Amino acid sequence: MVVVSDSDGKSTEGDWQPLQTVAWSYGKVRLIDQTILPDRIEFVEFSQWRDVVEAIRNMIVRGAPAIGCTAALGMALGARSIIADSKHAFRARFIEIAEAFRGSRPTAVNLFWAVDRMIDLVDSTDGSIIDIKDALIDEALKMLDEDIETNRRMGAFGAALLPDNGAVLTHCNAGALATVGYGTALGVIRAAVEAGKEIRVFADETRPRLQGMKLTAWELARDGIDVTVIADNMAGMLMRRHRIDCVVVGADRIAANGDTANKIGTYSVAILARHHGIPFYVAAPFSTIDFDIECGDDIPIEERSSEEMTHMNGGRIMPEGVKCINPAFDVTPGSLVTAFITEKGVIEPPYLRTLRDAAQDKPDISSGPRLTIGR
């Protein structure tokens, strides 16, 4: 890993640039190190595919769409190092790289979608080994283009659901940092603001890693969008006082029936929203839907290190010898989801039918900005 630049995380009107979470830079994978935000912005570059696997596992990059695109770039990077005298030998080694990426994080289905897409490309590409390696890079870069365009489509569809003047609650970070750029849930908020709506955002702090406080609040403040951080246990009180008009969150995996895995705590927010009659929207690309999983009970839930619970800033905050658990995600039943905001439009219940119906028509992804620096 090579640190290529850093700053204090602050921006002024003159130097503001859109966030580019994932990119390809002169034969290396380039990421924003999200573990040190909001203290400073630091871009890191990886020249070895195994280091990209660790970057995903250690949450240097996080967020389902960003993980998928990073895995695709990492696999293209790994393919460059394969020495093989036949396509069969190349494919065998490439599958080993693919399995390493599959094992990096278990819940975000975009990761597995991206891995399978890269394997399918190898299987369908004729020509030399060099041709296959070049095609893999092109495919990964295409995914980056698609991600931004997909997010902007979601934003346009979702913006229409938000009030002209009102407050939105979001949980965890589903913004530019969780994608290649623009964001899913925050993309909806950004699009609404761009359309002239007066949107105020409440961002759950999102324990235990505080992605809402550290990442979502930083992103929105950077864009000049009104944001207030609240503790995770404050949402119900604000809803009861009619200070929240709707909830918009992202997703890491959506089952065929609409059951949705997202950051731990999302389920509680959905229950509160239903009790108070507040719309609960999930913004996610179609690659997040796993039609092979019938319901949320079958979604694998990642268990992360207990130190994320027991320690903060390197210091222990929990008594020695006390047990804790640390599931990174929970599952919100589809029955609590008002609608899914996707690049194909807003999808409403019954999800067993409507999600599959929407999947029949592939969206026409137009060319978007390619986050590439050199080749």
Active site residue 252: yes
- Give the domain-ending residue among 132, 151, 170: 151
Alpha carbon of residue 159 to chain centroid: 19
CATH number for the domain harbouring residue 43: 1.20.120.420
Average pLDDT over residues 288-317: 95
- Give the domain-ending residue among 105, 121, 151: 151
**pLDDT of res. 10:** 56
Average pLDDT over residues 292-300: 97
Give yes or no: residues 217 and 301 share one domain: yes
**Looking at the domain assignment, is residue 372 inside a domain?**
no
Peptide bond into 106 cis (omega under 30): no
- In angstroms, the CA 76 to CA 362 distance is 25
The CA–CA distances, whole Å, from 319 to 208, 307, 322 equal: 16, 12, 6
- In angstroms, the CA 63 to CA 286 distance is 15
**pLDDT of res. 369:** 36
Confirm if 341 and 250 have CB atoms less than 8 A apart: no
Q: Are strands 280-283 and 22-25 parallel, antiparallel or unpaired?
A: unpaired
- Give the domain-ending residue among 125, 151, 177: 151
Give yes or no: residues 283 and 217 share one domain: yes
Give yes or no: residues 339 and 253 share one domain: yes
**Looking at the domain assignment, is residue 371 inside a domain?**
no
Domain hosting residue 69, numbered range: 2-151
Give yes or no: residues 137 and 99 share one domain: yes
Task: Give the tens place of pLDDT for each residue, 3-62.
Answer: 766 666 554 444 446 788 999 999 999 999 999 999 999 999 999 999 999 999 999 999
- In angstroms, the CA 101 to CA 54 distance is 9
Give yes or no: residues 170 and 298 share one domain: yes
**pLDDT class of 173 with cuts at 50, 70, 90:** very high
Helix (H, G, I), strand (E, B) or coil at 140: helix
The CA–CA distances, whole Å, from 202 to 11, 128, 220 equal: 22, 53, 11
**Looking at the domain assignment, is residue 105 inside a domain?**
yes
- In angstroms, the CA 55 to CA 31 distance is 9
Q: Is the pLDDT of residue 320 over 90?
A: yes
**Looking at the domain assignment, is residue 368 inside a domain?**
no
Of 41-55, 128-142, 350-364, which gets the smallest average pLDDT?
Answer: 350-364
Task: Give the tens place of pLDDT for each residue, 192-225.
Answer: 999 999 999 999 999 999 999 999 999 999 999 9
Give yes or no: residues 66 and 162 share one domain: no
How many H-runs (helices) and E-runs (strands) does the chain carry?
Answer: 12, 18
**Looking at the domain assignment, is residue 336 inside a domain?**
yes
Q: Which two tokens stand for residue 370?
A: 């390619």
**pLDDT of res. 19:** 83
Give yes or no: residues 231 and 108 share one domain: no
Give yes or no: residues 229 and 205 share one domain: yes
Average pLDDT over residues 69-96: 97
Closest-CA residue to 293 (of 250, 252, 345):
252
Per the prediction, the chain carries an average pLDDT of 93
**pLDDT of res. 372:** 36
**Looking at the domain assignment, is residue 7 inside a domain?**
yes
**pLDDT of res. 314:** 87
Of 13-22, 248-257, 272-281, 335-344, which gets the smallest average pLDDT?
Answer: 13-22
Bridge partners, 329 (sequence order): 263
Task: Give the tens place of pLDDT for each residue, 219-261.
Answer: 999 999 999 999 999 999 999 999 999 999 999 999 999 999 9
**pLDDT of res. 275:** 98
Phi/psi of residue 30, nearest 5 degrees: -115, 125
Q: State the Rg of the chain over Cα.
A: 20
- Residues with Cβ within 8 Å of residue 203, at least 6 apart in sequence: 169, 170, 212, 213, 216, 217, 220, 227, 228, 229, 230
CB-based contacts of 52-57 (< 8 A; 24+ apart in sequence): 52/77, 52/78, 52/101, 53/100, 53/101, 53/103, 53/104, 54/104, 55/1, 55/29, 55/31, 56/101, 56/104, 56/105, 56/111, 57/104, 57/105
Give yes or no: residues 159 and 221 share one domain: yes
Amino acid identity, position 164 = D
CATH number for the domain harbouring residue 220: 3.40.50.10470
Give yes or no: residues 180 and 251 share one domain: yes
Q: Is the pTM of this model over 0.95?
A: no
**Looking at the domain assignment, is residue 364 inside a domain?**
no
How many domains would you assign to the chain? 2
**DSSP state at residue 303:** B
Closest-CA residue to 190 (of 170, 211, 175):
175
**pLDDT of res. 363:** 45
Active-site hit among 33, 145, 232, 252: 252
**Looking at the domain assignment, is residue 366 inside a domain?**
no
**pLDDT of res. 361:** 81
Give yes or no: residues 120 and 187 share one domain: no
Give yes or no: residues 138 and 161 share one domain: no
